[in-house]
Amino acid sequence: MRDWIMRGAAVADIALPSFDEEAQYFGDETPRQTADRYLEAGVAEILVKNGGGDMLGRTPDGDWLDLPCGERLQPVDTTGAGDSFNGGYLSARLAGMDMAGAVARGHATAARVICHPGALIPHEALC
């Protein structure tokens, strides 16, 4: 599994790994260790998510950013939180937002999803 993850990373422009999973499967001790592995694989933009904690980002320009996790909420259901964050983040980057703005958009999207039961919420709840 680790081999295939890194093969995928080798052809990716953006990676959004979760530190808790990387620590479990790769033995990473810090988010920076996770980011460095993806950087070595050739990924230009890396955002290491950190389970509700501050994130570590590396921009395509080579800048390192410590990014706050955002407001802590009491979730109804965390199903789909990671995917909804990723969707919000990627859509913001495609729209031209910088990394910090995209992180804020990802958090806002995930926050709406975790306030509803199940991974699929009514479309109007996202607007």
Active-site positions read 83
Give Cβ neighbours of residue 33 (< 8 Å, ≥ 6 apart). Answer: none
Contacts of 27 by beta carbon, 8 Å cutoff, 6+ apart: none
Query: What sections of the chain are H helices per DSSP?
Result: 2-10, 19-26, 31-41, 81-94, 99-114
Residue 1 structure tokens: 């599994």
d(CA 28, CA 19): 8
